Amino acid sequence: MTTAVQKYIPRLKQFYKQFVVKELMSKFNYKNVNEVPKIEKVIVSMSVNEAKENIKALDIAIEELSVITGQRPMICRAKKSISNFKLKKGMPIGLKVTLHGDRMYDFLEKLIYIALPKIRDFHGISPKGFDGRGNYNLGLTEQYVFPEVNIEKSDRARGMNITIVTSARVDNEAKELLTLLGFPFRKS
């Protein structure tokens, strides 16, 4: 007797396939399902400028970003030396994680339904974060809005930039996609 193992599918991905695709096809008159915009990847980056003096800050930031995204970040290093900033070539200055597939949908679900509502005086995200090609940039001032981050172990608040890359060609299609997925855009 064999038992079928259910494959885990994130709720946001199921919602996209069942409801968002149909809604976008009817709104923008797409003839093929493959024309419907989708989220291709999510890039989360964090600056770690204090790693110049204190290398332990880099380890703490790596741990926090790993816990938030579920994936170990890549260390971004300085490309050239700048004496005014006390920066030498090759010094670690930032962290970056690129998410695809199920991890991407899990992160977006956590961002939309848990992290964004925890922001103090939150009235929605800015609709001006689109770049003209259907991609959206969002900046967070601190990592403490994610419930996985342990405030006692953290040394300081760090901001992060979240870039959502979509297959949409224009901003209004990308905005409609993100709105249907649950992103709380501010009214203009």
Give the pLDDT score at 164.
Answer: 92
Q: Name beta bridge partners: 95.
A: 46, 75
3-state class of 140 per DSSP?
strand
Q: Over range 172-181, report the average pLDDT.
A: 90
Predicted confidence (pLDDT) per residue in 62-71, tens digit: 888 888 888 9
Judge residue 50's burial from the number of C-beta atoms within 10 Å of its C-beta, 0-12 exposed, 13-18 middle, 19 or more buried: middle
Q: Which secondary-structure segment (H or E) carries 47?
A: strand 39-47
Query: Does the pLDDT of residue 91 top 90, yes or no?
Result: no
Residue identified by tokens 């741990």 is 63
Query: Does the pLDDT of residue 58 top 70, yes or no?
Result: yes
Phi, psi of 105 (to 5 degrees): -65, -40
pLDDT class of 45 with cuts at 50, 70, 90: very high
Residue pair 128/174 in contact (Cβ under 8 Å)? The answer is: no
Give the domains, in start order, of the chain with CATH numbers.
37-181 (3.30.1440.10)
Q: Which secondary-structure segment (H or E) carries 15?
A: helix 11-15
Give the pLDDT score at 2.
Answer: 62
